[in-house]
Amino acid sequence: MATLEKIRNKAGLLVIVVGLALFAFIIGDFLNSGSTYFKQHQEKIADINGTTISIQEYQKRIEDMTDVYKMQTGLTNLQEEDQTRIRQSVFDTMVHELVLTGEMDKLGMTVSPEELFDMVQGENIASALLQNQMFHNPETGAFDKTFFLNFLKQIDDDFIATAPQEYQPQLLQYQKLWIFWEKNIKIQRMEQKYTALLGKAIAANALDAKDVFNASAESADIVYAMQSYSTIPDSIINVGKSEIEKLYNQRKELYKQPETKVIKYIAVDIVPSQEDFDKASEQIEQLREELAASDDVRDLVNDNSEIAYINAFFSEAALDSEQKQFVATAAVGDVYGPIFESVNNKYRMFKLVDKTIAPDSVNLHFIMLEPTETAKADSLMDVLKKGGNFAELAMTYSIDQSSSANEGQVGWLTEAAALNALNEDFKTSLFAARLNEINLFKSTQVILLFKVTEKTANVDKYKIADIDITVTPSSKTYSNLYNDLNQYISNNQDIDKMDATAQEAGYNLLSNVSVTASDQIVGSIPQSRQVVRWAFEKHSKGDISEIFDCNSRYFVVAAHQGTIREGYRSMTSVESVLKSELAAKKKGEKIIEDLKAKSPASLDAYAQTMGATVDSVKFVSFSTARISGIGMEPKLNAVISLTETGRLSEPVIGNNGVYVFQIVNKETNNRIYDEAEEVRTIEASFPYRYGYMAVQSLVNRAKITDNRIRFY
């Protein structure tokens, strides 16, 4: 009982303890399960109409597109600009896909497996495949279904598994390329079906047909005079605030803007110091003595020059202007330079190693075999010596697909191209070969049975040692520039005072620079996306950034001036543009008023009153987008189409000035009006015109949360 009494007396405390334990248990469970939510939130790159794109999914698509881009361009390393374009392209594509798929789901539309099969292997091959040069027959230049089906067979998993090991990496790359194409084909088909549906919902009528026909059926030759708006001083034109506000409200939808950060920044050019130039000059002067005395220049060039030594002869046509000037009078062993090219901060120096008279290039045909296929090479040599058909053997046995498809023909090669293709021994053998003689060349890379079918005429050729040294900032210069900027920032933590102090310190400060989350660079500074990301992190007005190294070409430090919220640009921000437009219209009215007061009766009189000269232009129709010598003047187009030949027009207020014209000749084309044909032509453009507009409208209206600024 005593125990029970104690428990009863401590009941309130127990309730609190148990409650806290339960709360801790619940909160702990929530945090454990919630960690997944928070992790997902942190990994969300975007949200499109409620569908989340994760960073992993986005990055995978970027990697796939990067691989495809490298395969299609032959590049192995991409510049930052290329990577930026790929990231943006992938994002735009994913948004496009999700928005379009969502709309098609609402309509109950899809792309069936049967459709995809028909677009790939059926009777209606996708246009993207038909246009792909990879599947074109080199003889006909057209899409070859047999080539294409053979490609699909070679990228099948079973075929790859049984293929020689050295070919498997390339086949896997082609397989990845095909998966990328296949996805794009499906999306293109979705868009085609959607735009076709919209196109069928719109019809052209007889009035549309006649209007389109008439717009281009008649053209006019005119003489004209124009008084520019610049002849009227701005000071005599009054544009009221209410007028600007009215035009702003009419145009307001055009002024939508995303969230914008306003910054000021200093960009310091990382350029060589005078000490760097002096050291480079001293270095190349020392190299000149070595170059002049050396008989074997290969190592000297390769150890010191940005350009590797090429042990090949070049014709004069392949040399640059400085080299041409040098070889024109140089003897073998002569050295030219050093010279300094200020445009790219480069020292250059040449030595004429040798010269000769020989063909510049040769036309090569070959049969390429694996380096282990010695017996096959010997057998083919025997067949060829006995009169075997080189073209047929090349198509049958050569492992080089591009040349074998072209009967073994490789094309014209210079010495440098032959050296780059294989090695010096091959270059020597190739240019020493007699015409149409079968030669056998063996290396650790390949075996070639080749013949030279043509040679260019003999020309003067030169072998040159070229030492190029670009003056770059040394580590000392780099450190000095960084430390000076860092010291300036340490002494100037008040951004309002930076405008005055920056100039005193020798820095150029740019203020009121607007950046959005989608901007990849600030101004024209390469690889400055990091500055944009800094601006969108949680910084307050007045904060100053660390020093950013942008591509080792600029040091950049930024200061946060403020935030412009997502919405509409203020009237103040576009006031000057609107005011200029309204002022131009009023200037036009003023010019017309002055002209009417003087009542000119001829075009020459108008020109004299305007202070202008009479000019002419031909073939102006209602549909002419830009009038030659005048520019875009749609009002002028319209009035010309309604004016009779010989009649002097009334003054026309245009975009750039006031025009008066006279038609001297009108011509009508010989086309016969065919209403049905015109209607078909108009309606044929509907799916493309309205389909694109509709899809873009879906994207514009989509609810998109873009978090890329947190990752890139």
Supply 652's token pair: 């026309």
Residues 547 and 535 in one domain: yes
Assess if residue 503 is contained within a domain.
yes
d(CA 317, CA 460): 10
Mean pLDDT of the chain: 87
What lies within 8 Å, CB to CB, of 129 at 6+ separation is 119, 120, 135, 143, 148, 181, 185
Contact (Cβ atoms closer than 8 angstroms) between residue 390 and residue 336: no
User: What does DSSP assign to residue 248?
Assistant: H
Q: Whole domain around residue 440: which residue ranges?
A: 361-455
Domain boundary among 542, 565, 588: 565
Which pLDDT value is given to residue 41? Answer: 55
Which pLDDT value is given to residue 252? Answer: 92
What lies within 8 Å, CB to CB, of 397 at 6+ separation is 367, 369, 376, 380, 404
* Residue of higher predicted confidence among 419 and 229: 229
Assess if residue 157 is contained within a domain.
yes
* Residue of higher predicted confidence among 314 and 569: 314
What lies within 8 Å, CB to CB, of 250 at 6+ separation is none
Assess if residue 511 is contained within a domain.
yes
pLDDT digits (tens, 9 = 90+) for 430-488: 999 999 999 899 888 889 999 999 999 999 999 999 999 999 999 999 999 999 999 99
Which pLDDT value is given to residue 11? Answer: 43
Assess if residue 230 is contained within a domain.
yes
Residues 128 and 172 in one domain: yes
Residues 603 and 549 in one domain: no
The H or E element containing residue 340 is: strand 335-341
* Residue of higher predicted confidence among 6 and 529: 529
d(CA 9, CA 217): 105
Which pLDDT value is given to residue 162? Answer: 84
pLDDT digits (tens, 9 = 90+) for 506-531: 999 999 999 999 999 999 999 999 99
Assess if residue 101 is contained within a domain.
yes
d(CA 494, CA 498): 7
Residues 287 and 351 in one domain: yes
d(CA 641, CA 635): 10
Q: What is the CATH number of the domain that holds 503?
A: 3.10.50
Contact (Cβ atoms closer than 8 angstroms) between residue 240 and residue 678: no
d(CA 179, CA 210): 47
- Least Cα distance to 641 among 630, 653, 649 occurs for 649
Please give the biggest Cα pair distance in the chain: 126
Residues 533 and 597 in one domain: no
User: What does DSSP assign to residue 655?
Assistant: S
Instruction: Tell me the mean pLDDT in the region 582-602.
Output: 95
- In percent, the amount of the chain with pLDDT more than 90 equals 51
pLDDT digits (tens, 9 = 90+) for 395-405: 888 888 777 77
| Residue 201 confidence class, pLDDT cut points 50, 70, 90 | confident
d(CA 184, CA 164): 30
Assess if residue 9 is contained within a domain.
no
Which pLDDT value is given to residue 421? Answer: 83
Assess if residue 192 is contained within a domain.
no
d(CA 179, CA 137): 22
Residues 387 and 484 in one domain: no
Which pLDDT value is given to residue 484? Answer: 96
Residues 558 and 486 in one domain: yes
Say what the alpha-carbon torsion angle 142, 146, 147, 148 is, to the nearest 10 degrees: 90
Strand ranges inside 193-273, DSSP E: 218-228, 256-257, 260-269
Contact (Cβ atoms closer than 8 angstroms) between residue 553 and residue 270: yes
Which pLDDT value is given to residue 660? Answer: 97
Domain boundary among 338, 357, 376: 357
Which pLDDT value is given to residue 691? Answer: 72
Residue with tokens 């010279």: 339
Residues 396 and 488 in one domain: no
Assess if residue 710 is contained within a domain.
no
pLDDT digits (tens, 9 = 90+) for 360-374: 999 999 998 988 888
Integer Rg of the chain from CA: 37
Instruction: Tell me the mean pLDDT in the region 576-586.
Output: 95
Residues 514 and 444 in one domain: no
Residues 286 and 224 in one domain: no
| Residue 139 confidence class, pLDDT cut points 50, 70, 90 | low
pLDDT digits (tens, 9 = 90+) for 141-150: 788 888 888 8
SS3 461: strand
Domain boundary among 565, 586, 619: 565
Number of domains, the chain:
5
Contact (Cβ atoms closer than 8 angstroms) between residue 281 and residue 337: no
Residues 577 and 526 in one domain: no
d(CA 610, CA 680): 47
Which pLDDT value is given to residue 123? Answer: 86
Residues 427 and 483 in one domain: no
pLDDT digits (tens, 9 = 90+) for 601-611: 999 999 999 99
Residue 589 clears pLDDT 90, i.e. is over it = yes
d(CA 709, CA 47): 14
d(CA 362, CA 355): 18
